[in-house]
Structures are given as C-alpha cells and as structure tokens.
Amino acid sequence: MSTYQHIAQRAGQVPVRQLCQVLRVAPAAYYAWQRRQQVPAVEPAWQVALPGRLARPLLAQSRRLGRA
C-alpha cells in the first residue's frame, strides 16, 4: 500500500493535514495524487477510431517502438 493510499484510507478518521505531517508528505502532493486517481485513462484516438482487427497490429507496432 502506498503512502497516499494509507492517507486515503484514514482520511475519514484523522485530518488529512495531520496524516500528511506525520507521514512527511506535502498535502498538495496527496491531493494531486487523489486527482490523478479520478481521471479516467484516455485511449489514443486512433485506437477508438479503428475497428479492433485494424487497431491490434498498430498497437503491437507502437509497443515495439516504445510508444504505448
């Protein structure tokens, strides 16, 4: 479990600022982590636009080139 997950679990019982201080984490860093957890992963437009049988070879090539 990450430090941020630990803070999220205890946030209802202990103030976040106090948890952050004890765990030596900036509250802004915790809240930034929390926002990132709420943002859904975005699929590349070409994956959405192409049917599955066409997208698979492009995705494989993209992975070989280190882009996915």
pLDDT band at 45 (very low <50, low <70, confident <90, very high): confident
Question: What local confidence, expressed as pLDDT, does residue 28 receive?
Answer: 97
pTM, whole model, 2 decimals?
A: 0.56
Q: How confident is the model at residue 30 (pLDDT cuts 50, 70, 90)?
A: very high
5-29 residue pLDDT tens = 999 999 999 999 999 999 999 999 9
Domain extent listing, the chain? 3-38
Q: Does residue 38 surpass a pLDDT of 70?
A: yes
User: What's the distance, Cα to Cα, between the start and end of the chain in Å?
Assistant: 26
